[in-house]
Amino acid sequence: MNDLIIAKFGGTSMGTAEAMRQSARIVIADNRIRVVVVSATSGTTNALLKVYHDLCACDTVSADQAFKKIEDRHRTMCHALELDSSAVDELIVAAQNHMSLFSASENREVWLDAWLSFGERLASRIFGKMLFHLKNNVTEADARSFIITDEVFGKAEPQPDRIKTACLKKLLPLCSEQIIVTQGFIGATTDGRTTTLGRGGSDYSAALLGEALSAKEVLIWTDVPGIFTMDPNLVPAAQTIPKISFSEAAELANFGAKVLHPATLWPAIRKGIHVFVGSTFEPEAGGTWIEPDVNDKPLVRAIAMRKHQTLITVSSLRMLNTHGFLAKMFGVLADHKLSVDLVTTSEVSVALTIDGTSLGSSGEKISEKQELLQDLRRFADVAIEENLTLIALVGNNLQQTPGIAARTFDAIAGLNVRLICQGASSYNMCFLMHQSDAPQAVSALHRAFIESEVVCLKSA
């Protein structure tokens, strides 16, 4: 089925009964949509995390109360959709049983991934039942039976070859006759233990399924009509981008554009699948198509911003005129499963950034990772700065364009920049600053690089 389409609906698209109905209208309107991937209802993952933190604090009363709110919300949604609330009974009981196992769990990361899976499982159960009443050829499928991952709980790495084998066996035979409703964000190890792909991982799930099933398109339905030149909540003059290349979109996603999970595009790139981002609530407004290449290649396509960054500065006189220091440092970071973003070096120090959103589902900070800090301090002094924001200009030929740095720093003159990174990619230029300065910085950069170009085009 080379015209097969995967449709993914985010948390706001699942957030209310009416939002679910609107999502269903989109599915029913296009008979090429054969696989539907859903996120947990908006706010549910955070609510499940609250239960987890209450249990960690031995506050079972608060944990029970928090879970009761989750249960009531989903039963109320069933009622609003004219479904029997018994549709979620099995999952509610399973969740309660899982809560009772917390104190005896040997590995809290393993327990937490299984716990967080209930958000997506509840949403897919309700949406699947509702869609079945509207269109009988609907089958619910448990993503854990075909999204196979490694054993890094909290941010598991999918295994594409195993996923493809499982999808061709379990899903493809159904696609000609059935609409399959499944969960994003979750998977399982080869021995069946539940894993999660990191926050926002439902987009990634959809792209992985698109790759495995050789889909023509992956549609990401969310609460905004496409990818913008900047978050319109911060920059009201931001504009929707009609088309964008894989390379540009990958940079935007990597540097914090909230519309897409950073890993979403890699399966699409590997398979050449076109990806669409649009609003569930305004499907007629269009959106953004992400394609292998596009003809229009502006110097700066968009500006991205990623909060919750940590700057680690590692200093030691042993670095001077020696070899192997960086290998030792990065070896420690690898042992602790940490991915480094930006790196700058001097003769006796290295500054690097870690994305706070990449630390797994529990939200632990770098400054709280005492084993990591102890390992680094065995051979160097370590300084930690948190509450930083990464800002990136994303576009084309940035490393070959004279004056780009001057224009950038003219725009943000007066703001303190903690780290600058340019030259590694022709698609981005990025820097780090305190999060309190970031809104002013992105507004100034948008005026300098995007709004000014629009004015020039209109004048011409």
To the nearest whole percent, how much of the chain has pLDDT over 90?
A: 72
User: Residues 172-184: what's their mean pLDDT?
Assistant: 96
Given a cut of 80, whether residue 456 has pLDDT beyond it is: no
How long is the chain? 460
Contact 259, 224 (CB under 8 A): yes
The pLDDT tens digits of the residues spanning 289-300 come to 999 888 888 899
For the chain, the first-to-last Cα distance in angstroms comes to 46
User: Residues 433-445: what's their mean pLDDT?
Assistant: 95
The pLDDT tens digits of the residues spanning 121-175 come to 999 999 999 999 999 899 999 999 999 999 999 999 999 999 999 999 999 999 9
Given a cut of 60, whether residue 434 has pLDDT beyond it is: yes
C-alpha dist (Å) from residue 404 to 63, 251, 304, 409, 411: 52, 18, 16, 9, 11
Q: Phi, psi at residue 329, to the nearest 5°?
A: -65, -45
Given a cut of 80, whether residue 454 has pLDDT beyond it is: no
The per-residue pLDDT for 459 is 44
CA–CA distance, 310 with 267 (Å, rounded to integer): 28
SS3 labels along 302-313:
EEEEEEEEEEEE
The pLDDT tens digits of the residues spanning 407-426 come to 999 999 999 999 888 867 78
CA–CA distance, 296 with 245 (Å, rounded to integer): 9
CA–CA distance, 230 with 391 (Å, rounded to integer): 11
Confidence of residue 247 (pLDDT cuts 50, 70, 90): confident
User: Residues 34-40: what's their mean pLDDT?
Assistant: 98
C-alpha dist (Å) from residue 230 to 225, 252, 391, 443, 446: 13, 10, 11, 9, 8
C-alpha dist (Å) from residue 445 to 81, 96, 203: 45, 49, 28
The per-residue pLDDT for 368 is 76
CA–CA distance, 259 with 279 (Å, rounded to integer): 11
The per-residue pLDDT for 362 is 52
Residues linked to residue 220 through DSSP beta bridges, in sequence order: 8, 277
C-alpha dist (Å) from residue 174 to 7, 177, 181, 451: 16, 6, 11, 48
User: Residues 183-187: what's their mean pLDDT?
Assistant: 98
CA–CA distance, 130 with 254 (Å, rounded to integer): 35
Residue tagged 């879970």 (tokens): 67
CA–CA distance, 432 with 336 (Å, rounded to integer): 23
The per-residue pLDDT for 358 is 58
CA–CA distance, 113 with 91 (Å, rounded to integer): 15
The per-residue pLDDT for 320 is 77
Contact 115, 98 (CB under 8 A): yes
Given a cut of 90, whether residue 212 has pLDDT beyond it is: yes
Confidence of residue 283 (pLDDT cuts 50, 70, 90): very high
In this structure, the number of other CB atoms found within 10 A of the CB of residue 140 comes to 17
CA–CA distance, 17 with 317 (Å, rounded to integer): 61
Q: Which CATH class, in words, describes the domain spanning 302-459? A: alpha beta
CATH of 5-223 given 3.10.180.10, 3.40.1160.10, 3.30.70.260, 1.10.1060.10: 3.40.1160.10
Confidence of residue 455 (pLDDT cuts 50, 70, 90): very low
CA–CA distance, 17 with 73 (Å, rounded to integer): 11
In this structure, the number of other CB atoms found within 10 A of the CB of residue 132 comes to 16
The per-residue pLDDT for 215 is 97
Average pLDDT, the chain: 91
User: Residues 214-237: what's their mean pLDDT?
Assistant: 94
- Give kind and range of the element (H or E) at residue 291: strand 287-291
Which pair of tokens denotes residue 168? 């061709």
The per-residue pLDDT for 356 is 76
The per-residue pLDDT for 88 is 96
CA–CA distance, 45 with 236 (Å, rounded to integer): 29
Domain spans in the chain, listed from the N-terminal domain onward: 5-223, 302-459
The per-residue pLDDT for 138 is 97
